[in-house]
Amino acid sequence: MTLLEVENLAVHFGGIKAVDGVSFGVDKGEIFTIIGPNGAGKSTIFNLVSRIYQPTSGRIRFEGKDITGLPAHRIAGLGIARTFQNIELFDMATVLDNMMLGRHAHRRTGPFAHLFFGPATRAEELAHRRKIEEVIDFLDLQHYRDQMIANLPYGVRKVVELGRALCTEPKILLLDEPSSGLNVEETEDMSFWISDIKNILGITVIMVEHDMNLVNEVSDRVLALNYGRVIATGTPAEVQAHPEVIRAYLGGDDTETEAA
Amino acid sequence: MDRVLGRIWWLLSASAVIAFFSPPVLWLFGVMDGAQLTQYLQQVVSGTANGCVYALVALGIVLIYKATETINFAQGELMMVGAFLAFTFITMYGLNFWLGAALAVAGGVLFGMATDRAIIRPVVGQPVFAIVMVTLGFGFVVRAVVSMVPGWGTDTYALATPFSGADLRLGALVVSQDYAAIIASTVVLCGFLFLFFRYTRLGVAMEASSENQLAAYYMGIPVKRVYTLIWGLSAGVAAFAGLLLAPITFIHTQMGFGVIFKAFPAAILGGFGSIPGAIVGGLIIGIVEALAGFYLPEGFKDVAAYVVLLIVLLLKPEGIFGRVVVKKV
Amino acid sequence: MRFLFKTDYAQDTRLFPFGGTKRFWSGLALYAAILAALAHYAPVALTSTHWLGLAIVYAVAFGAVLLRQNADGEGGHAAFWYGLLGVAALSAPFVLDLYFLSQITFVYVYAIAGVGLILLLGMCGQISLGHAAFMACGAYTAALLQAQGFDLLVTLPAAILLSALLGVVIGLPALRMTGIYLAFATYAFAFIVEEVLARWDGLTGGNMGFVLSDPSILGYTFDSEQKMYYLAMVLFALTLLAGLNIRRSSTGRAFMAIRDSETAAEAMGVNLAVYKTTAFAISAGMAGLAGAVYAHLLFFISPEGFTILLSINLLVLAVIGGLASMHGAIFGAAFIVVLPQLISLTKDSLPPVVGQLPGLESGIFGLVIILFVILEPMGLHGRWMKIKTYFQLFPLYKRGTFRRQKSYMVSEKNR
């Protein structure tokens, strides 16, 4: 069953066609990876799906429902969570606060009730707290619970950001370069977690990734992008063998050479 | 939504410009009589003169902001110090006006550089807001110190210039030479600044430091020294503004505090960080103020400038010449 | 020990997360008991000086013991300090003379507005140069309604609501702009409000001002300094509680999210428009409450009392107190009330050459602001945390514990 469907998506910034007529569908329960050289439009697709950018044309459907016109803050509530390429955590708040923000879309009480912090608010806070404790256990973040993000090393921040996305109880998770900036060991951990997210938590994953080992290890399907256009789709092996992909990366024509 | 606001913006600004230039046309067609037109032009000239002072103070604020991202609330005090220096050299010591004026501006430059070294450098790297508070506190201190200086104090002084009292006659229009001098010297100064930033190495280095501090540092630009020079330049411009403002108002310790709350709206109106924006913003504020003061009931003089600011920001939140910066994620 | 084991979830939602409610009451009870015993058995009649001395000795001794005992848990004694503070605050009217009492009352009033500003600026990252207008709105609402014969039960909520509404309006620019743009958009609004108050003299008395009478609740009139003190204290406590409640609930977290990264906040489902407006409304409501009490304290209000200088003073309050914590409000308020008094007190004892200098007060005021940001960027609350840490780690405290890292200018253009 197709969970997320992107149809003829395009966005132009000035004269530049960052994404130019991209279509793909992501099935429930798979790990779908988007690869491509720098500037191919991978992150832009994420920004379009999470509604930060307004597409010039095209449709985005989630669970059969058109979400192209929704504001960005409605996306989390639908069950689409994301991480960011350069980590967008709330730096001056603790890990707990960050994760609790992942629960924001599930809140039921409003600001007025919060002024008084009555029993309903308290009960809700406790319920959310229980939920994020599961995520903390899942990602082994117990040590860092009360630390401020600004004091954490990069690798841990990356995990916290993943955790925050998981706290929203997503149906689909968009991971923007989950391994960038991580060392070999941390990348391995990340690869296990991504598999676990799919296998244990049953969450569909779309990721943008440069590390081909990680891509091969976890992906079910891969989509290769260049200059905002799809050049190949298929299993990791198929895509990597595709002549156009090789040309895009190694520079058969005037494309800039770019190691994967 | 944005598109609608954009349309309204074009419509409103176009009609404001047309309205501004319409009186001579109305006069040509006989709708307005000569006296009314002269009155109108008189207000425009005095508004422009005041606007020039706002523009120069705003320009100083923008220079510092562009280069160092410090929002300087003490710019009015830099201006006030310049005015007091001019008073000291010209009136107290009886120096030649031009020599005294040059000394005052030079003193202002030194004062600005000293401010950067002593007050601003220790707080570089702290949140913008904290630095704003430092400049605000510095303003308090400067006002206090100036009022303690023997011979300056809390009194109000007038500054006589070679132009004072004389009028310039252009047909029926009578323009005080002070106003004419303000407008002319602002034009000259702005031309100099343009050439400076465009063609000198130092000007280019200043631009570079403002774009990216770290990269400029790696390229061998002595960023710290450039910052000090920027402060000097900005304080020099402020002292110049003080010199221009002194003949048409008075010199006193609070003169900067009053101007700053016009200069900031001017800088913001033009788009905070844009040098032409600061000048255009200053002129708009000055002229709106003068016209509102003359044609609207009492009390609207000060409010009008702020109403214009709010309307512009509502329609164009980045100001007239402001850059829209989109964060990349 | 929360490092090793899972925490009790309920703990995180408590006001004193490290368990200390018992200590709070025991601290309070013990201090009260000692005071009562002393009052009863003392050989001579105790004067206020005695009381003050006793309180200080007691606080220092008992506090030091508790600090040492709780060096491992982070905030077990926080509750105790609150207890102690509570008693000290409650007993102040019996101990202090009227002058000091009224000064502390002003501290409470400023602190009420300070809590609101810290919530807006420190928590949500939205600046406002328009808080004087909110205070003015609260003050005039309370004054005008009182003139119609309503008591505090009506005037205070009305002042809060109207100011909050004004906050929504003045906060509207926040939806489209930040930083210096927002600061001067709010300033422009506030200036217009002030001008309206001054010109609409049929309603407000214009620049001639407006006179108030003693406030009352259901026939009980607050007609003495002591009564006003308690009123302000209770209102401050409630405001602080509301602020802390916001801080520990999803609204407060949404504010922090907006402050740190608007993009990520939206991705988490935070509706920026709604929460920015909410932050302005709550903050303005608190400032309105402060304004109402302020009006009753002064018995006289005029537009000149609510100019940009008041807004700047409130910003100074927030920065000096420390934006990171609600507690900063009380420190900051104490600072802006006490410092001018202190300066004018010392002025008389200084040699006239120095003491008579014009602008001495504002000069010192500015100097202290500068020194604070340079030496103590976390504000008074930060200094307090450092002192606390020093005692907890004694004798292991290292000088470099709080040393700042060398920092480059970080552009906030792209926040």
pLDDT at B136 over 50: yes
> Does the residue B328 lie in any domain?
no
Residues A225 and A121 in one domain: no
- As for how many domains chain A has, the answer is 2
Beta bridge partners of A94: A148
* pLDDT, tens digit, 9 for 90 and up, residues C400-409: 555 544 444 4
Residue A8, min C-alpha distance to chain C (Å): 23
Chain B residues with CB inside 8 Å of C197's CB? none
For chain C, give the percent of residues with pLDDT over 90.
39
Compute the mean pLDDT over every residue in chain C, rounded to the nearest whole number.
80
Residues A139 and A183 in one domain: no
Q: C-alpha C267: how far from its chain's center? A: 33
* pLDDT, tens digit, 9 for 90 and up, residues C274-286: 999 999 999 999 9
Beta bridge partners of A26: A4
At residue C85, the 3 state secondary structure works out as helix
Cβ–Cβ contact A33 with B under 8 A: no
Across the interface, whether the CB atoms of C6 and A164 are under 8 A apart is answered: no
Contact A228, A41 (CB under 8 A): yes
Residues A146 and A120 in one domain: yes
> Does the residue C378 lie in any domain?
yes
Cβ–Cβ contact C7 with A under 8 A: yes
Domain boundary among A142, A168, A194: A168
| The two three-digit tokens of residue C101, written as one number | 């009492």
- As for how many domains chain B has, the answer is 1
Residues C256 and C108 in one domain: yes
A145, closest residue in chain C (CA to CA): C3
Across the interface, whether the CB atoms of C13 and A129 are under 8 A apart is answered: yes
pLDDT at B304 over 60: yes
What is the model's pLDDT at position C14?
Answer: 63
**Residue among B278, B214, B247 at smallest CA distance from B75:** B278
Q: How far apart are CA C160 and CA C281, in angstroms?
A: 9
Q: How far apart are CA A167 and CA A161, in angstroms?
A: 10
Domain boundary among A168, A194, A219: A168
> Does the residue A84 lie in any domain?
no
CA angle centred on C77, ends C76 and C80, rounded to 5°: 125
* pLDDT, tens digit, 9 for 90 and up, residues A155-175: 999 999 999 999 999 999 999
Cβ–Cβ contact A257 with B under 8 A: no
pLDDT at C180 over 80: yes
pLDDT band for position C11 (cuts 50, 70, 90): low
A173, closest residue in chain C (CA to CA): C267
pLDDT band for position C321 (cuts 50, 70, 90): confident
Residue C161, min C-alpha distance to chain A (Å): 12
Contact C413, B69 (CB under 8 A): yes
Across the interface, whether the CB atoms of B327 and C409 are under 8 A apart is answered: no
Chain C residues with CB inside 8 Å of B136's CB? 312, 315-316, 366, 369
Contact C261, C98 (CB under 8 A): no
Task: Lowest mean pLDDT of A76-90, B149-163, B306-320, C106-120, name the range.
Answer: B149-163
**Residue among C144, C133, C139 at smallest CA distance from C202:** C144
Element (H, E) at A155: helix A154-167
pLDDT band for position A73 (cuts 50, 70, 90): very high
> Does the residue C364 lie in any domain?
yes
Name the amino acid, one letter, at B86: A
Residues C46 and C180 in one domain: no
Instruction: Give the mean pLDDT of A5-14.
Output: 91
The length of chain A, given as a count of residues = 260
Chain C residues with CB inside 8 Å of A103's CB? 250
Q: How far apart are CA A110 and CA A123, in angstroms?
A: 14
Task: Lowest mean pLDDT of A138-152, C11-25, C106-120, name the range.
Answer: C11-25
Q: How far apart are CA A141 and CA A136, in angstroms?
A: 5
Its domain, for residue A112, covers 89-168
What is the model's pLDDT at position B157?
Answer: 86
Residues C191 and C331 in one domain: yes
> Does the residue C405 lie in any domain?
no
**Residue among B178, B152, B153 at smallest CA distance from B167:** B178
pLDDT at C398 over 60: no
Give CA separation, B21 vs B24, B49, B289, in Å: 7, 18, 17
> Does the residue B5 lie in any domain?
no
Compute the mean pLDDT over every residue in chain B, rounded to the nearest whole number.
88
* pLDDT, tens digit, 9 for 90 and up, residues A10-56: 999 888 889 999 999 999 999 999 999 888 889 999 999 999 999 99
**Residue among B9, B50, B27 at smallest CA distance from B249:** B50
Contact A53, A41 (CB under 8 A): no
Chain A residues with CB inside 8 Å of B329's CB? 43, 47, 52, 84-86, 88
Residues C77 and C179 in one domain: no
Residues A35 and A105 in one domain: no
Across the interface, whether the CB atoms of A111 and C10 are under 8 A apart is answered: no
SS3 content of chain C, % helix, strand, coil (to 5): 75, 0, 25
What is the model's pLDDT at position B274?
Answer: 86
Q: Give the number of other Cβ atoms within 10 Å of residue C387's Cβ.
A: 11
Residues C87 and C117 in one domain: no
Residues A60 and A188 in one domain: yes
User: Which of C188, C367, C406 has the CB atom closest to B265's CB atom?
Assistant: C188
Contact C393, C381 (CB under 8 A): no
What is the model's pLDDT at position B56?
Answer: 94
Contact C162, C137 (CB under 8 A): yes
Chains touching C (at least 3 CB pairs under 8 A) are A, B
Across the interface, whether the CB atoms of B213 and C408 are under 8 A apart is answered: yes
pLDDT at C393 over 80: no
Beta bridge partners of A21: none
DSSP C233-267: HHHHHHHHHHHHHHHTSHHHHHHHHHHH-HHHHHH
Across the interface, whether the CB atoms of A88 and C9 are under 8 A apart is answered: no
Residues A151 and A118 in one domain: yes
pLDDT band for position C389 (cuts 50, 70, 90): low
**Residue among B43, B66, B126, B47 at smallest CA distance from B272:** B66
What is the count of residue pairs from B and C with beta carbons less than 8 Å apart? 152
- As for how many domains chain C has, the answer is 2
Q: How far apart are CA A113 and CA A118, in angstroms?
A: 7
Beta bridge partners of A172: A80, A204
Q: How far apart are CA B70 and CA B188, in angstroms?
A: 27
* pLDDT, tens digit, 9 for 90 and up, residues A170-189: 999 999 999 988 999 999 99
Across the interface, whether the CB atoms of B317 and C177 are under 8 A apart is answered: yes
Residues C58 and C130 in one domain: no
pLDDT at C350 over 80: no
pLDDT band for position C411 (cuts 50, 70, 90): very low
Across the interface, whether the CB atoms of A92 and C259 are under 8 A apart is answered: yes
Across the interface, whether the CB atoms of C188 and B309 are under 8 A apart is answered: yes
Chains touching B (at least 3 CB pairs under 8 A) are A, C
Q: How far apart are CA A39 and CA A229, in angstroms?
A: 11
Phi, psi of A232 (to 5 degrees): -165, 150
> Does the residue A122 lie in any domain?
yes
pLDDT band for position C131 (cuts 50, 70, 90): very high
Question: Considering Cα of C261, then C264, then C268, then C274, what sign does the dihedral take?
Answer: positive
**CATH number for the domain harbouring residue C326:** 1.10.3470
Give CA separation, A204 vs A48, B206, C65, in Å: 18, 50, 55
Its domain, for residue C249, covers 99-393
Residues A45 and A121 in one domain: no
Residues C300 and C349 in one domain: yes
Domain boundary among A168, A203, A219: A168
Give CA separation, C278 vs A145, B4, B234, C253, C258, in Å: 28, 26, 39, 13, 12
What is the model's pLDDT at position C412?
Answer: 47
User: CB within 8 A of C235, min separation 6: which ones?
Assistant: C108, C112, C156, C289, C293
Q: How far apart are CA C143 and CA C150, in angstroms?
A: 10
Contact B146, C360 (CB under 8 A): no
Task: Lowest mean pLDDT of A66-75, A217-226, B208-217, name the range.
Answer: B208-217
Contact C348, C408 (CB under 8 A): no
User: Which of C13, C245, C254 has the CB atom closest to A115's CB atom?
Assistant: C245
pLDDT band for position C69 (cuts 50, 70, 90): very low
Instruction: Give the mean pLDDT of B56-74.
Output: 89
Phi, psi of C6 (to 5 degrees): -60, 145
Domain boundary among C36, C65, C95: C95
Residues A184 and A210 in one domain: yes
Q: What is the largest CA-CA distance in chain A?
A: 66
pLDDT band for position C335 (cuts 50, 70, 90): confident
| Residue C119 burial (10 A CB sphere; 0-12, 13-18, 19+) | buried
Its domain, for residue B242, covers 33-315
> Does the residue B20 lie in any domain?
no
pLDDT at A131 over 50: yes
| The two three-digit tokens of residue B52, written as one number | 């020039």
A111, closest residue in chain C (CA to CA): C251
pLDDT at C2 over 50: no
Contact C259, C124 (CB under 8 A): yes
A84, closest residue in chain C (CA to CA): C264
Q: Give the number of other Cβ atoms within 10 Å of residue C56's Cβ.
A: 11
Residues C174 and C31 in one domain: no
Name the more confident of B71 and C64.
Answer: B71
Residues C82 and C105 in one domain: no
What is the model's pLDDT at position A160?
Answer: 96
User: Which of C3, C9, C251 has the CB atom closest to A130's CB atom?
Assistant: C9
Instruction: Give the mean pLDDT of C40-63.
Output: 62
Q: How far apart are CA A135 and CA A166, in angstroms?
A: 7
Residue B31, min C-alpha distance to chain C (Å): 34
Q: ipTM of the predicted structure?
A: 0.91
Q: Which of C268, C278, C402, C405 is the best substitution to test chain A (most A C-beta atoms within 10 A)?
A: C268
DSSP A121-154: HHHHHHHHHHHHHHHHHHTT-GGGTTSBGGGS-H
Residue A237, min C-alpha distance to chain B (Å): 30
User: Which of B136, B148, B307 has the CB atom closest to C357's CB atom?
Assistant: B148
Residues C326 and C388 in one domain: yes
Chain B residues with CB inside 8 Å of A43's CB? 329
**Residue among A128, A187, A129, A125 at smallest CA distance from A162:** A187
Most confident range, picked from A102-111, C2-11, C204-213, C315-324: A102-111
Instruction: Give the mean pLDDT of A231-237.
Output: 93
Cβ–Cβ contact A47 with B under 8 A: yes
CA atoms within 13 A on the CB side of C52: 9
> Does the residue B71 lie in any domain?
yes
pLDDT at C75 over 60: no
| The two three-digit tokens of residue B284, written as one number | 């708009």
Q: How far apart are CA A98 and CA B195, in angstroms?
A: 50
What ranges in C42-178 are assigned the alpha helix state H?
A: 48-69, 78-95, 98-117, 131-147, 152-171
pLDDT band for position C272 (cuts 50, 70, 90): very high
> Does the residue C402 lie in any domain?
no
| The two three-digit tokens of residue A238, written as one number | 């198929």
pLDDT band for position C415 (cuts 50, 70, 90): very low
Give CA separation, B176 vs B53, B249, C103, C260, in Å: 16, 13, 52, 53
What is the model's pLDDT at position C54?
Answer: 62
| The two three-digit tokens of residue A125, written as one number | 């806070």
A150, closest residue in chain C (CA to CA): C260
Q: Give the number of other Cβ atoms within 10 Å of residue B41's Cβ.
A: 19
> Does the residue C411 lie in any domain?
no
User: Which of A105, A111, A168 has the CB atom closest to C251's CB atom?
Assistant: A111
Residues A132 and A73 in one domain: no
Residues C290 and C164 in one domain: yes
> Does the residue A175 lie in any domain?
yes
* pLDDT, tens digit, 9 for 90 and up, residues B171-209: 778 888 888 889 999 999 999 988 888 888 888 887 777
What is the model's pLDDT at position C74?
Answer: 45
Residue A54, min C-alpha distance to chain B (Å): 13
Residues C41 and C81 in one domain: yes
What is the count of residue pairs from A and C with beta carbons less than 8 Å apart? 121
Residues A218 and A152 in one domain: no
Chain B residues with CB inside 8 Å of A84's CB? 329
Across the interface, whether the CB atoms of B143 and C362 are under 8 A apart is answered: yes
pLDDT band for position C41 (cuts 50, 70, 90): low
Q: How far apart are CA C246 and CA C253, in angstroms?
A: 8
**CATH number for the domain harbouring residue B140:** 1.10.3470
* pLDDT, tens digit, 9 for 90 and up, residues C200-213: 888 888 888 899 98
Name the more confident of C179 and B212.
Answer: C179
Contact A90, C256 (CB under 8 A): yes
